Structure 1
């Protein structure tokens, strides 16, 4: 597998490896200040309240995970819809009427998903934590990539990464291929489970769209190289902060439209000036 992917995962680790996850890397790339407020500053600064789209996504993920925990014969559309009701929360919705409307939609999404797809095969992993030391140069590992996958399927002799989406826009093949998170999950899953893994899929529940991409060793390596560069910048900034340097200089705000729904908007003056605050339900799928 090492030769097939062109990576040397190695067994002998250097003195220090940087652990990175897709969430940490994307947070740092989007806004270094948000990274500091999320992962470094203690006590954690004031956050916004819950977001309805996050609640909706969590409910759908939990319902599908619970569905696949059941024996195959019990994985019916009706049971999937019932699980949405069991996991449902109203956090972040405008009112009870809006929450009820989206609860009904979520039930429809998972019901149609079960009807349209073969859910009788047991996944290799559900909410599975995967981790692997990697090197992009063929030498000693330089970082440990890790994260939690929504689902890992086994199809024939290979693994497939499945990621559920409930957002406003249906994904396409380009988005699946460009996803650093999915690429990192593929590499880490291959190492953790000792099987080839080059295919990744985004399953968009609201539209039923499945955006799939097949990675090559070269495309996976490009994702890892980008992750390695970001991890190096992140490590340098963190070490310099620990040495007593100025936090705002090392982890500057990067204002843009996302500041309207940033969790740390109450603690960031630059973010507040970037635009008006979004309502907790503004990012729901229409």
Structure 2
């Protein structure tokens, strides 16, 4: 049985092979098949564009929170969280050093407020935990920011640092969060239905309680995307033109696509964005 770019070709009489999928992999194809091809099939992988400041912010906050929970209990203080953030901070994507330093101070404030509201002794079941599950057609896997114990059930917690306050509808509609629920159930063998988006800039929490029906809807959509990926990959293996098998989907998103340098349709669709343009307006300089 051949494996072509993650899509297994079935032989007569053999059971169906599962498509290995992550939320980011499925989202890449759903957003733009060309971007999926560049990220997962083309070798060598095409050169990417520059780093983005908002990703630097998010990565630093996530890393600091993971490390904070790894500290011995007496060390889990707001001051420690700030120091952990400072230690992993990257200037990549910022306009200049001054902008980076202002945003580091702002992110440190978010982090201080957030961990002040946590019980350091309320040990998570997992942080940055890899989970996996299978469906009729998929082998799903993903990494959960945090898994909490609430009574008899586990809760999926996802940290957010974007400019927009998260909503309950976003929690309900997130394919990634639904995949994490399935993964937690299968990997940890514990009940899990609730997902939460913890938006550190606003200090708010958006949540949703999944049902078997809501999860089934997410699985159906994920399997449909996986089927489209398999069909496009099989066409490519059969000699189809690479750009026709995986067409570009030009739009505003091309202004910040990582593979913009390698995609003529994307460059023609819209102007490139400044690498700090997804940050809200600069905060006042700290006094």
Identify whether the pair has TM-score above 0.5, normalized to the shorter chain: yes
| 2:192 paired residue number | 197
User: After superposition, what is the alpha-carbon deviation per residue over 1:210-239, rounded to whole angstroms, capped at 9, x for unaligned?
Assistant: 101111110011001100111111111112
Give 1:15 deviation, angstroms: 4.7
Superposition TM-score, scaled by structure 2 size: 0.91
Q: Distance in 2 between matches of 1:76 and 1:243?
A: 58
Q: Distance in 2 between matches of 1:168 and 1:242?
A: 41
| 1:184 paired residue number | 179
Aligned pair partner of 2:222 in 227, 231, 256: 227
Report which stretch shifted further, 237-246 or 264-273. Answer: 237-246
Q: Distance in 1 between matches of 2:180 and 2:202?
A: 24
User: After superposition, what is the alpha-carbon deviation per residue over 1:154-206, rounded to whole angstroms, capped at 9, x for unaligned?
Assistant: 11111111111111101110000000100000011110000011100001111
Q: Distance in 2 between matches of 1:23 and 1:284?
A: 22
1:159-170 matches, cutoff 5 A: 159-170=154-165
Residue 257 of structure 2 corresponds to residue 262 of structure 1: yes
1:98-247 matches, cutoff 5 A: 98-135=99-136, 142-247=137-242
| 1:6 paired residue number | none
Give 1:147 deviation, angstroms: 0.8
Superposition TM-score, scaled by structure 1 size: 0.91
Q: Distance in 1 between matches of 2:15 and 2:142?
A: 21
How many residues align? The count is 268
| 1:139 paired residue number | none
| 1:5 paired residue number | none
| 1:88 paired residue number | 89
Unaligned runs of at least 5 residues, structure 2: 1-13, 282-287
Check the 8 A contact 1:170/1:204 in 2, yes or no: yes
Report which stretch shifted further, 172-181 or 151-160. Answer: 151-160
Residue 25 of structure 2 corresponds to residue 24 of structure 1: yes
User: After superposition, what is the alpha-carbon deviation per residue over 1:9-52, rounded to whole angstroms, capped at 9, x for unaligned?
Assistant: xxxx9451101110001110000000000110011112101111
Q: Distance in 2 between matches of 1:38 and 1:284?
A: 25
Q: Distance in 2 between matches of 1:119 and 1:176?
A: 25
